[in-house]
């Protein structure tokens, strides 16, 4: 794990901050888009990320997806909220889903995104605990 990741994990372990984020399950032809972030080696996750203090979840999600993938989001459907303490922080994640008309046009930011994969929801590669919780919500 890079030094910055270790420092972040240590901070979370000691101070247990309260964080907010937004994630989206992007679907195309029955498969979902997963990202391998440069700061989480070996694990896949979903597009999205942390929200600024007073940022609206949809506005923050649009900002994050634009930064990560260089695309505008199609219309979103709210799935729910996931609460987690899996990474030694108190995390509230707003979860959405959207149907992508095409897989073309994705421009992953190489500084943040190490790889992308399209997978069926029942055939996921290794994912973190929050992503697993999100897919449990998606399946229900």
CATH node for 3-139 = 3.90.79.10
Report yes or no on whether pTM surpasses 0.75: yes
Q: How far is residue 130's CA from residue 92's CA, in Å, rounded to a whole number?
A: 10
pLDDT tens-digit series, residues 94-140? 999 999 999 999 999 999 999 999 999 999 999 999 999 999 988 87
Q: How far is residue 102's CA from residue 129's CA, in Å, rounded to a whole number?
A: 28
Is 62 strand, coil or helix? Answer: helix
Q: What letter would DSSP give residue 127?
A: B
Sign of the CA dihedral running 4, 9, 13, 15: positive
CB-based contact 89:19 (threshold 8 Å):
yes
Per DSSP bridges, beta strands 90-99 and 77-84 are antiparallel
Beta bridge partners of 81: 94
CB-based contact 91:83 (threshold 8 Å):
yes
Instruction: Tell me the two tokens of residue 82.
Output: 């996931």
pLDDT at 8 > cutoff 90: no
């Amino acid at each position: 794990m890079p030094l910055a990741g270790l420092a972040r994990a240590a901070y979370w372990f000691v101070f247990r901050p309260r964080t907010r984020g937004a994630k989206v399950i992007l679907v195309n032809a029955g498969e979902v888009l997963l990202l391998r972030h440069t700061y989480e080696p070996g694990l896949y996750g979903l597009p999205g990320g942390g929200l600024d203090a007073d940022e609206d979840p949809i506005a923050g999600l649009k900002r994050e997806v634009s930064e990560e993938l260089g695309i505008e989001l199609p219309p979103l459907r709210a799935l729910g909220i996931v609460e987690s303490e899996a990474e030694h922080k108190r995390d509230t994640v707003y979860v959405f889903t959207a149907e992508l008309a095409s897989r073309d046009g994705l421009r992953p930011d190489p500084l943040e995104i190490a790889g992308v994969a399209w997978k069926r929801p029942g055939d996921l590669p290794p994912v973190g605990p929050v992503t697993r919780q999100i897919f449990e919500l998606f399946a229900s």
